[in-house]
Structure 1
Amino acid sequence: MATNNRLAHEKIIKLLFSLAIPSIIAQLVNILYNIVDRIYIGQMANGTIAMAALSVTLPIVTFVSAFTQLVGVGGAPLCAIRLGEQRKDKAEEIMTNSFVLLIICGLVLTLLILFFNRPLLLLFGANEETLAPAISYISIYALGTIFVHITLGMNAYINTQGFAKIGMYTVVIGAIINIVLDPLFIFVFNMGVAGAALATIIAQGVSAIWVLIFLFGQKSIIKIKKEYLIPRLKIVLAIMSLGISPFVQTATESLLQISFNNQLLMYGGTMAVATMAILMSIWQFITLPLLGLCQGAQPILSYNYGARNYTRVRETFHLMFKLCLGFAMGACILVIIFSSFFVSIFTKDAPTIHFSSWALRVFLIGAGMFGAQTACQQAFMALGQAKVSVWMAITRKIILLIPFIYIFPYLLGETSFAFHMSTSIASMVYDAPRVFAVLFAEPVSDILAACITTSMFIRFYRKALKRPDDIIEE
């Protein structure tokens, strides 16, 4: 059955799993892709310092990927909606314009990182111990920015056509290469954190080639066309108006990492900053599979919304919401119970394991609710609701979490609650109660943001989707 016919007619549960499972596998592999550097770096002789150095580079790495969200993920739902409307030429124009924009963004970011990495890293929480290895890592990583943009940005256009397995292979290929090259460059060639960066950009380069071979090949429903290589302002604005939500969501992740690093450096020192790299890595065990599930649902939601087949849109969302919430709750409980095991993947240093295990339990108290937040946020995106999606992206991090990171140490830092919760790590950091207060901002924000986003989607659902009869345009 042709991909478009599958999106329109195949049974939802079968279709969703056929699209979501490869995406989830891709995201699980992507977890390895993202954290394998940290796993190997944590095993180095100066692992805690090296991990802290990697932690202060994460805002830059995250900001690079934010532009793939702005252009690639922003355009992919529009592309699927146009396919649902049977307007293939418009879908190809959107994809080709996105490709050009990704190249331009990649070149600009490469130059900015190479010329301004030192002041940026100092701003992001680097100190005398961590600055040199951090510069070594990010200078090499910057050279592969265009590869990252093509791989992540254009892979969205493979997935949105319903070729989830091909999209999965994009990630798997890069992950395998990265895993193989990391120990070779880090330990055998004794390159340290620079070797980890080199392995990453080589892996991304090969993945980028794979993506382009498919999109220029015969199997792709839509092609990159030379007549659309000069971006059209109307198309660019349409892509960015929808892409601004995932861009803000990812870019604010960068700002969030900066906020955590600076506050933890102030109250907890190098060990606390190193712990944040571990926490963010384990957080991906929960969040990235959720994104994989939503990526599987996105073509179904977008195509059928464009075709005005609202029954299929509603059925897909219900299933996606239940699966996201169930997975997040289960994964959160599992990680909290076995926190020491998950932390020990990244470090063998006993004090760091003890401190990070405690921090992880605090950090994930409210993570189960993130499943509801993700399902509704991604549904807004898939259905082209750009403005609402932007506000939901801003709410969790900009309005709630980042202010709480700075406010909670003053509100909770001298309370008996904070002293009691931080007793087990009191001798390991400068100010344990305030370290707890910084980390406690995360679960409070997760719970509040999930309630707000779910409430907003219920309003949209009742207004736009809950109709007694479908209206299908031929």
Structure 2
Amino acid sequence: MTTTQNTTDNPLATGNINQLMIKFAVPSIIAMMVSAVYNIADQLFIGNAVGTLGNAATNIAFPLSMMCTAIALMFGIGGASSFNLHMGAGESQKAPYFLGNSITMLLGLGAILFIGTELFLDPMLKCFGSPDNVLPLAKQYVSITAIGFPFLIITIGGGHLIRADGSPKMTMICNLSGAIINIVLDALFVLVLRWGMVGAALATIIGQIFSAFLALNYLRHYRTVTIEKKHLRPQTIYLKRIMALGMASCFNQIAMMTVQICMNNLLKHYGSLSQYGEAIPIACAGIVMKVGQLYFSIVIGLSQGSQPIESFNYGARQYKRVKAAYRYAMIAGGTVSVIAFVIFQLFPHQLLALFGNGSKEYFEFGSFYFRIFMLMAWANFMQPISSTFFTSIGKANKGTFLSLTRQIIFLLPLMFFLPTIFGIKGILYAAPIADGMAFVTAAVMVWSEMRAMK
């Protein structure tokens, strides 16, 4: 096995850090925003065509999209980080095995998730917190979108492998093309043909299939190394390393999925005891989550854009370049987070109105949800960028722990405790408290790591 580049002439080792961050981060941001658009597009069209119950149905289905992303990040980021670390250390013979093993797992687990979803659709959606009047719409939507799970997973995961090859623009093209197809077909199927939930689901999977085709075609013609059949055969020695480095990002998604499922059930329970009922809180939660995901995708894109730079230079022991890449990601992430905070506080009603009309109670609860749940949005850049940083430098345990702080360690217990005192609004108060605690934890861990990195 030969490489077209070695450690000394690779741009990751010698290029200007600022320019490298722009090269890798901008396409990563666009790719992540496009992934978020997949879910938001359906919600926009469904909200205007079907109404509040349709919005609630897409929120009930959202944990499955998170599971797809979790699998994709486990083997996408894990494979990309392993590949870049070994290439940076000059171990080009081992590097292709991490790519091949990742591709096999992405495709295999995508197929397994599709089959499992179709077999256990009803109990799964009820477990996700679906009210009885929302369940039929959720079933219509998920029974079709499940077909696209393998394609969605290979698109997201394969995008990270493509980025590791020094082709972030191709990752962007894969995601952007699928999203454009999805939006165009959403307009046709939902607004023109009036196919409702079925039309939105069909538009989604058609876009995903096209994106996956582009990603797989690129992986067949990888530039830095040649991926052969022997590299595709799963081997424990490579999978352990991949999963260790991808675990932080995967667990972060699983944590978000767990919180979303618990939140749906809590909103259903406490909503039934309030003036808002069951469906309105769940519908509002879905909108806030997906709008927040759009902003958060910029932060995640920054962290993913810094990953190849951090991994390669850490493997090459060029620690000043590692610190510089992290610093640029933090400055940009902090700026974006402050802007998002201002928008969420000033324009919650307008954001809700984009997703269709609703009752007075719908806008009242939704506006309050936006302002309180996103109260610490200005600080939310710290935890994901820092978690990816630890993963990029091979500190998988630290990255995994940090990825769990906000969602599982801090938010989940508060979500169950505070509603016993404040009712349904207590669920919302839990978020800014957890965000602040996660910010402090990440800052302390990174400060300690930077001091030790010499």
Amino acid of the residue matched to residue 430 of structure 2?
A
The equivalent of 1:292 in structure 2 is 301
The equivalent of 2:105 in structure 1 is 101
- Contact in 1 for aligned 2:383/2:403 (Cα 8 Å): no
Q: Deviations over 1:273-323 (max 9, x none)?
A: 100110111111321001111121111111101111111111111221122
In the alignment, the residues of structure 1 paired with residue 126 and residue 149 of structure 2 have an alpha-carbon distance, to the nearest angstrom, of 21
In the alignment, the residues of structure 2 paired with residue 208 and residue 29 of structure 1 have an alpha-carbon distance, to the nearest angstrom, of 14
The equivalent of 1:181 in structure 2 is 185
The equivalent of 1:195 in structure 2 is 199
Q: Please, what TM-score do these two structures have when normalized by structure 2?
A: 0.94
1:220 maps onto 2:223 in alignment:
yes
1:313 maps onto 2:322 in alignment:
yes
Q: Shift of residue 346 of structure 1?
A: 1.3
1:335 maps onto 2:344 in alignment:
yes
Secondary structure at the counterpart of residue 88 of structure 1: coil
The equivalent of 1:264 in structure 2 is 267
Q: Deviations over 1:168-197 (max 9, x none)?
A: 111110110000111222233332112211
- Contact in 1 for aligned 2:248/2:388 (Cα 8 Å): no
1:283 maps onto 2:287 in alignment:
no
The equivalent of 1:239 in structure 2 is 242
- Contact in 2 for aligned 1:47/1:347 (Cα 8 Å): yes
In the alignment, the residues of structure 2 paired with residue 228 and residue 242 of structure 1 have an alpha-carbon distance, to the nearest angstrom, of 19
- Contact in 1 for aligned 2:61/2:125 (Cα 8 Å): yes
Amino acid of the residue matched to residue 339 of structure 2?
G
Q: Shift of residue 2 of structure 1?
A: 7.0
What is the aligned counterpart of 1:116 among 114, 120, 123?
120
In the alignment, the residues of structure 2 paired with residue 355 and residue 347 of structure 1 have an alpha-carbon distance, to the nearest angstrom, of 15
- Where structure 1 has 5 or more consecutive residues not aligned to the other structure, the ranges are 414-433, 468-474
1:35 maps onto 2:40 in alignment:
yes
What is the aligned counterpart of 1:47 among 44, 47, 51?
51
- Contact in 1 for aligned 2:46/2:54 (Cα 8 Å): yes
Amino acid of the residue matched to residue 60 of structure 2?
V
- Contact in 1 for aligned 2:248/2:387 (Cα 8 Å): no
Amino acid of the residue matched to residue 379 of structure 1?
F
Amino acid of the residue matched to residue 156 of structure 1?
H
- Contact in 2 for aligned 1:362/1:439 (Cα 8 Å): yes
Change (3 A) 1:64 1:25: closer
Q: Shift of residue 86 of structure 1?
A: 2.3
Q: Shift of residue 374 of structure 1?
A: 2.0
Secondary structure at the counterpart of residue 336 of structure 2: helix
In the alignment, the residues of structure 2 paired with residue 28 and residue 244 of structure 1 have an alpha-carbon distance, to the nearest angstrom, of 22
- Contact in 2 for aligned 1:328/1:371 (Cα 8 Å): yes
Q: Please, what TM-score do these two structures have when normalized by structure 1?
A: 0.90
Deviates more, 1:330-339 or 1:272-281: 330-339
- After the TM superposition, list the runs of 4 or more consecutive aligned residues in structure 1 that deviate by more than 4 angstroms: 1-4
In the alignment, the residues of structure 1 paired with residue 160 and residue 39 of structure 2 have an alpha-carbon distance, to the nearest angstrom, of 18
* Number of matched pairs: 442
In the alignment, the residues of structure 2 paired with residue 229 and residue 13 of structure 1 have an alpha-carbon distance, to the nearest angstrom, of 35
What is the aligned counterpart of 2:335 among 326, 332, 338?
326
In the alignment, the residues of structure 1 paired with residue 309 and residue 432 of structure 2 have an alpha-carbon distance, to the nearest angstrom, of 31
The equivalent of 1:60 in structure 2 is 64
In the alignment, the residues of structure 1 paired with residue 401 and residue 194 of structure 2 have an alpha-carbon distance, to the nearest angstrom, of 46
1:125 maps onto 2:135 in alignment:
no
The equivalent of 1:5 in structure 2 is 10
- Where structure 2 has 5 or more consecutive residues not aligned to the other structure, the ranges are 272-277
1:400 maps onto 2:410 in alignment:
yes
Q: Shift of residue 350 of structure 1?
A: 4.8
For the aligned residues, what is the CA RMSD? 1.6
- Contact in 2 for aligned 1:21/1:293 (Cα 8 Å): yes
- Identity across matched positions, percent: 32
The equivalent of 2:81 in structure 1 is 77
Q: Deviations over 1:48-106 (max 9, x none)?
A: 01111111111122112211111112211111111112222322110001111112111
1:374 maps onto 2:377 in alignment:
no
In the alignment, the residues of structure 2 paired with residue 12 and residue 184 of structure 1 have an alpha-carbon distance, to the nearest angstrom, of 44
In the alignment, the residues of structure 2 paired with residue 12 and residue 400 of structure 1 have an alpha-carbon distance, to the nearest angstrom, of 34
The equivalent of 2:274 in structure 1 is none
- Contact in 2 for aligned 1:256/1:397 (Cα 8 Å): yes
Q: Shift of residue 223 of structure 1?
A: 3.4
In the alignment, the residues of structure 1 paired with residue 235 and residue 31 of structure 2 have an alpha-carbon distance, to the nearest angstrom, of 32
- Contact in 2 for aligned 1:329/1:371 (Cα 8 Å): no
In the alignment, the residues of structure 1 paired with residue 178 and residue 211 of structure 2 have an alpha-carbon distance, to the nearest angstrom, of 5
Secondary structure at the counterpart of residue 43 of structure 1: helix
